[in-house]
Amino acid sequence: MTSYDEHTVREQICQVGRWLWEKNYIGGTDGNISVRLGDRLLVTPSGLSKGHMRPDQLVWIDLAGRLLPESQGVGLQPSSEIWMHCMAYRQRPDIGAVVHAHPPIAVALSLAGYAIACDIIPELVYSLGCVPTLAYAAPSSQANADIIEVPIRTHDALLLTHHGSLAVGPDLHTAYLGTEKIEHAALLTAQALQLGPLRPIPAGEAERVWAMRQARYPDRRLCPGGAACPHNTLYAATAARYQAS
C-alpha cells in the first residue's frame, strides 16, 4: 500500500477507513486518517463515516492544518483532530501516515485505569514497542495535540485515555497495522486479567527482545520500554494491580 500516486493514495485511505469501520475500531463519524505527500497532507474530512467515504471527499491541508486551495471547492473541512496529526508529522520526518481510531477494548482499559501491558507479548515489543497511555486531554483541542508532542518522538503508537489510539508509520499500511496491534494487545490483556495475574516476559528474554527492536531501528531514538518508559506512567502505576488481579 505504499504509493505516492494521489489516486492510489485516495483509494488506500478509503480502504483503511472501511477496515477500521468493519472491525468496530470506529463508530459514527469517528476516527481520522492522513497521509503525507511531500509538504502536503491528504486527510479524511470531518462529519463523514470513514467506512463510507469516497476518494473525491478527501481534502488537502498543509503541515499547519490549513485547508489548501485545491480542496476549497470540495465543500468539506478536514477532521477536527487534524492538529494531532500535524503535531506527529512535525516531530518526525520519517512519519508518512497517521491513523487515529477508537478501538473499544484499548479504550475500555483506560476507562478502568489500566494501561496496555506491553511487556507480556514479545511480538508487540518487537514490532511496536510499548504503547503508553497518556493523560486525558479534550478531543479536537490543541491540548490533545500538545500532549503527544514529546512521546510521539520515541513511540509509534499511543493510547489517549478516555479517547482512542494513535498509530503512525512510514506508510499507511504500517500505521493501520499498528492500530490492529494496539487492539489485539488490549484484547489479550483484558482476557488475561479475567484468568489471573499477568506474568511478564522473563527479564532476560524481555531485554533481548527490546535489543532486537533497537537493532531493527538503529537510527531511531526509542523509548526504554516497559515501566522504564517515562511516558508509560499509567502502566507503572498499575503494575501492582496487574500482579494482584
How confident is the model over 206-223, as a mean pLDDT? 89
Q: What is the pLDDT of residue 30?
A: 94
C-alpha cell at 65: 492544518
In the predicted structure, residue 19 carries a pLDDT above the cut 50: yes
As a whole number, mean pLDDT of residues 184-198 equals 91
The Cα 175–Cα 238 span in angstroms is: 27
Under a CB-based contact definition with an 8 Å cutoff, are residues 103 and 183 in contact?
A: yes
Q: What is the spatial distance between Cα 128 and Cα 220, in angstroms, rounded to a whole number?
A: 13
**Residue 241: φ, ψ to 5°:** -65, -35
The mean pLDDT value of the chain amounts to 90
For CA atoms 208, 165, 45, 41, give the dihedral sign: negative
- pLDDT of the residue at 180: 97
User: How much is the pLDDT for 156?
Assistant: 96
pLDDT of amino acid 71: 86
Question: Which amino acid is present at 28?
Answer: G
45-49, 174-178, 200-204 — which is least confidently predicted? 200-204
Q: Domains of the chain by range and CATH?
A: 6-244 (3.40.225.10)
For residues 38-45, average pLDDT: 95
DSSP the chain: -----HHHHHHHHHHHHHHHHHTTS--TT--EEEEEETTEEEEPBTTS-TTS--GGG-EEEETTSPBPGGGTTS---B-TTHHHHHHHHHH-TT--EEEEE--HHHHHHHHTT----TTS-HHHHHHT---PEEPP--TTSHHHHHTTTTGGGT-SEEEETTTEEEEEESSHHHHHHHHHHHHHHHHHHHHHHHHS---PPPHHHHHHHHHHHHHHSTTS-----GGGSTT-HHHHHHHHHHHH-
State the pTM of this model: 0.93
Mark whether 6 is an active-site residue: no
Whole-number pLDDT of residue 107: 97
User: Which of 81, 149, 205, 207 is flagged as catalytic?
Assistant: 81
Q: Is the pLDDT of residue 4 over 90?
A: no
Confidence of residue 1 (pLDDT cuts 50, 70, 90): very low
Task: Look at residue 234 and tell me whether its pLDDT is greater than 50.
Answer: yes
Predicted confidence band of residue 201 (pLDDT cuts 50, 70, 90): confident
Model confidence over 118-128: pLDDT tens digits? 788 888 889 99
Mean pLDDT of 177-200: 92
The mean per-residue pLDDT over the stretch 92-117 comes to 94
Instruction: Average the pLDDT over 187-213 and give the result.
Output: 88
